[in-house]
């Protein structure tokens, strides 16, 4: 048993009692289904010849027994249908929870290569098909095998030759089913990939709907969607073709079996080697034989859909996070905030060039340092390495003299506050979004953080104040308002290390002034690293670090660097002319 099979079966473990009850009901349903034609045969053989004076009462008695069997059969079927489906739904929920938890562990490098729509498909459609397999799979197999074996025994008992004729069809049916099962599996895998592409396209278009409309590119987006939609239809065409050939081929085989029984059974009656009552029972049993075959066909369909989804599920689950805690990772207690880069080099992919090359930098505890330089020089990358969003390729980053790889990720990131240029706000209220900085914070703490971020006044002007719903990604707020909420989140978190990634570059002068005031409050007595696009915003920095493609080019105060007449002076002069 391979690892994936063990993993597949492991999801039954919490519901083993429910599974046993479900299988017990399946056994009872199978047994009752086999008993009913035997009751018919008994009545036909022993009570319809006119020689039994109590035949009428016995027929009524057997009829009552058959009604009782039907009642038990109905109850067990209802149990299988309801409880079995609930078992599948709960297992589906467990898998979806595990996958979502795993998504949280994967690092930025994973998401750099993935489409959100594809990841959503694996969390929804793929696991949804698994719920049906988990429920109906064991049930269909048990019922099909019990009925098949039981019917085979009854048919052998009635007429050996006729039974052997029937079973000559089975190897051919098995080979036919195996061939088309493989084709169905390939088609279903492609179909699941295509629906993921559709989800990715829809997510991309809707997330950027304002850009789409501003450039009047609705037709372009429609064409992109049509392309993905047509690819999905083509994949479904292949799948449906395989399913149709599979199902209808199996149906044709069952008709051939019925015709063979009619012809050879009729001949046996003519030769007086088979009684009419036995042929009637044989026909009833053939109908029962078809039912487990249909169940096996249904199982094959469920298996292909489910196992394709499971493979895609496991493809993600087997991806190990490339950034993990060391076995002896420590929890930070009191952080001073000294950050040191020691000969750090970094590239995003193995075959890419270095973004940072042998960078050494020492940021003192409580220092306000600014990173400036041309686009693409690695400013954002350097800051992303401190909270270990990416792992350094060479060298070491130290926090208060401790290698950050020896610090637990949660502890490290709890002590770092980040304010980005591209603010992400969650759907919900203002209160919920500020509280994201400190789970469980009181309303009073949230209001105080908002006041410190110069956000309290505009929040109180909103229709419901702090309880105002701000829409998906905060679409109901201006850029400056969103930025101030993100700063309020960091005030609430109250970390000893701050990183500002061009937090004011896209704002108007008034918003920038309000945010600059709140940032100055926030940077007090904290180690602060600011990535600046507008050099005028960091003139007061204790140290300005000029980063170029070749590494750190210059360091010093604004006055010192401007006097050098080097890279910084050139950049600053260019901005003054603009």
Q: Which residues pair with 403 in a beta bridge?
A: 398
Fold of the CATH domain 426-494: Rossmann fold (3.40.50)
Query: For position 511, what pLDDT does the model report?
Result: 59
Reported as a pLDDT band with limits 50, 70 and 90, residue 535 is: confident
pLDDT at residue 306 tops 80: yes
Query: For position 386, what pLDDT does the model report?
Result: 92
Segment 532-545 mean pLDDT: 82
Question: Does the structural domain 3-317 have CATH classification 1.10.3720.10?
Answer: no
Cα separation, 566 vs 373, whole angstroms: 12
Cβ–Cβ < 8 Å for 107, 323? yes
**Helices then strands, each counted (H, E), the chain:** 20, 10
Query: For position 475, what pLDDT does the model report?
Result: 74
Residue predicted with more confidence, 537 or 400: 400
Query: For position 233, what pLDDT does the model report?
Result: 85
Cβ–Cβ < 8 Å for 478, 511? yes
Rounded (10°) angle between helices 16-46 and 276-317: 170
Reported as a pLDDT band with limits 50, 70 and 90, residue 75 is: very high
pLDDT tens string 132-187: 888 888 888 888 888 888 888 887 887 788 888 888 887 888 788 778 777 877 77
Query: For position 373, what pLDDT does the model report?
Result: 85
pLDDT at residue 295 tops 80: no
Diameter of the chain measured on Cα atoms: 125
pLDDT at residue 366 tops 80: yes
pLDDT at residue 277 tops 80: no
Segment 290-301 mean pLDDT: 74
pLDDT at residue 371 tops 70: yes
Question: In Å, how far from its chain's centre is CA 83?
Answer: 25
pLDDT at residue 341 tops 90: yes
Query: For position 86, what pLDDT does the model report?
Result: 87
Lowest mean pLDDT among 63-67, 290-294, 379-383, 505-509: 505-509
Cα separation, 356 vs 377, whole angstroms: 8
* Angle of CA points 329, 330, 333, to nearest 5°: 160
Reported as a pLDDT band with limits 50, 70 and 90, residue 395 is: very high
What are the residue boundaries of the structural domains of the chain, listed by start? 3-317, 426-494
pLDDT tens string 191-247: 877 877 887 788 777 777 766 766 677 888 888 888 888 888 888 887 788 878 887
Query: For position 339, what pLDDT does the model report?
Result: 93
User: Does pTM surpass 0.85?
Assistant: no
Residue predicted with more confidence, 512 or 348: 348
pLDDT at residue 387 tops 80: yes
Segment 547-554 mean pLDDT: 86
Cβ–Cβ < 8 Å for 377, 548? yes
The mean predicted confidence, pLDDT, of the chain is 83
Residue predicted with more confidence, 406 or 234: 406
Q: Give the up-direction half-sphere exposure of residue 1: CA atoms within 13 A in the CB hemisphere.
A: 6
pLDDT tens string 462-505: 888 999 888 777 777 887 788 888 888 888 888 899 898 876 65
**Rounded percentage of the chain residues whose pLDDT exceeds 70:** 93
Query: For position 56, what pLDDT does the model report?
Result: 79
Cα separation, 541 vs 264, whole angstroms: 99
Q: Quickly count: other Cβ atoms within 10 Å of residue 147's Cβ.
A: 22
Query: For position 504, what pLDDT does the model report?
Result: 61
């Amino acid at each position: 048993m391979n690892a994936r099979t063990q993993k597949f079966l492991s999801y039954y473990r919490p519901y083993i009692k429910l599974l046993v009850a479900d299988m017990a009901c399946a056994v009872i349903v199978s047994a009752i289904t086999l008993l009913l034609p035997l009751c018919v045969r008994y009545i036909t053989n022993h009570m319809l010849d006119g020689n039994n004076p109590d035949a009428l009462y016995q027929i009524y008695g057997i009829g009552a027994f058959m009604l009782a069997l039907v009642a038990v059969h109905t109850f067990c079927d209802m149990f299988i249908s309801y409880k079995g489906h609930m078992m599948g739904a709960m297992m589906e929920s467990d898998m979806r929870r595990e996958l979502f938890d795993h998504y949280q562990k994967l690092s930025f490098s994973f998401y750099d290569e993935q489409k959100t729509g594809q990841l959503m498909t694996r969390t929804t459609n793929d696991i949804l098909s698994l719920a049906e397999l988990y429920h109906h799979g064991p049930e269909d197999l048990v019922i099909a095998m019990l009925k098949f074996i039981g019917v085979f025994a009854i048919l052998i008992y009635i007429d050996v030759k006729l039974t052997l004729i029937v079973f000559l069809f089975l190897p051919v049916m098995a080979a036919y089913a195996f061939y088309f099962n493989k084709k169905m599996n390939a088609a279903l895998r492609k179909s699941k990939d295509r629906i993921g592409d559709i989800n990715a396209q829809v997510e991309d278009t809707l997330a950027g709907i304002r850009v789409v409309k501003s450039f009047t590119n609705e037709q372009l987006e429609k064409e992109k969607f049509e392309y993905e939609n047509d690819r999905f239809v083509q994949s479904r065409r292949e799948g449906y073709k395989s399913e149709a050939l599979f199902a209808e081929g199996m149906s044709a085989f069952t008709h051939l079996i019925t015709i063979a029984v009619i012809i050879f059974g009729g001949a046996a009656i003519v030769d007086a080697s088979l009684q009419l009552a036995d042929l009637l029972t044989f026909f009833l049993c053939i109908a029962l034989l078809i039912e487990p075959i249909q169940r096996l066909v249904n199982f094959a369909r469920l298996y292909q859909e489910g196992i394709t989804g499971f493979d895609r599920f496991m493809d993600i689950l087997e991806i190990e996070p490339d950034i993990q805690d060391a076995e002896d990772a420590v929890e930070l207690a009191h952080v001073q905030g000294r950050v040191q880069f020691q000969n750090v080099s970094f590239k995003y992919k193995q075959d890419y060039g270095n973004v940072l090359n042998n960078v050494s930098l020492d940021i003192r505890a409580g220092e306000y340092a600014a990173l400036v330089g041309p686009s693409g020089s690695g400013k954002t990358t350097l800051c992303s390495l401190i909270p270990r969003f990416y792992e350094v390729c060479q060298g070491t980053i130290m926090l208060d003299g401790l290698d950050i790889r020896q610090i637990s990720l949660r502890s490290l990131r709890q002590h770092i506050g980040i304010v980005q240029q591209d603010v992400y706000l969650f759907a919900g209220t203002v209160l919920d979004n500020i509280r994201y900085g400190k789970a469980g914070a009181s309303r009073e703490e949230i209001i105080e953080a908002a006041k410190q971020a110069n956000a309290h006044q505009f929040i109180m002007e909103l229709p419901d104040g702090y309880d105002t719903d701000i829409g998906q990604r905060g679409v109901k707020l201006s850029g400056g308002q969103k930025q101030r909420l993100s700063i309020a989140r960091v005030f609430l978190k109250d970390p000893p290390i701050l990183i500002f990634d061009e937090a004011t570059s896209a704002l108007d002068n008034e918003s920038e002034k309000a945010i600059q005031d709140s940032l100055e409050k926030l940077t007090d007595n904290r180690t602060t690293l600011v990535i600046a696009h507008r050099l005028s915003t960091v003139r007061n920095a204790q140290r300005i670090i000029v980063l170029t493609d070749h590494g750190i080019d210059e360091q010093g105060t604004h006055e010192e660097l401007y006097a050098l007449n080097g890279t910084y002076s050139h950049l600053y002069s260019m901005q003054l002319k603009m």
